[in-house]
């Protein structure tokens, strides 16, 4: 008996890089890095600002690809939070 082969979730997850980071700010805020606010840092660079104190993390040690994905995720989360607030 032959079975149709379907890709498992595990295999699909291995095809893409997943960046998960918990962040602790100097002010004591703890959360996912992507829950910070995207902030323009000047000279074409972006960073993530702490939602409590505004401390800016430019993610300079990260690869450009990982930094771009993280900033995009943060922007998407920020937009969905703003939209949810406007809907209530």
**Each residue's pLDDT tens digit in the chain (88 positions)?**
444 444 444 444 445 555 556 778 889 999 988 889 999 989 899 999 999 999 999 999 999 999 999 999 999 998 887 667 667 6
Domains identified in the chain, total number:
1
Tokens 């995207």, located at residue: 38
Q: Domain residues for 30?
A: 19-87
Amino acid 24: pLDDT = 86
Q: Specify the pLDDT at position 75.
A: 93
- Residue 81, SS3 per DSSP: helix
Tokens of 47: 């960073």
29 falls within a domain = yes
Any domain includes 39: yes
Q: Which residues pair with 39 in a beta bridge?
A: 47
pLDDT confidence of residue 17: 53
Q: Is residue 65 part of a domain?
A: yes
């Amino acid at each position: 008996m032959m079975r149709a082969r379907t890709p498992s979730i595990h295999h699909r997850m291995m095809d893409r890089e997943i960046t998960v980071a918990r962040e602790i700010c100097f002010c004591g805020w703890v959360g996912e890095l992507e829950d910070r606010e995207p902030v323009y840092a000047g000279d074409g660079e972006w960073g993530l600002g702490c939602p409590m104190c505004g401390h800016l993390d430019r993610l300079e040690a990260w690869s450009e690809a990982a930094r771009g994905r993280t900033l995009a995720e943060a922007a998407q989360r920020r937009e969905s939070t703003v939209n949810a607030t406007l809907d209530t």
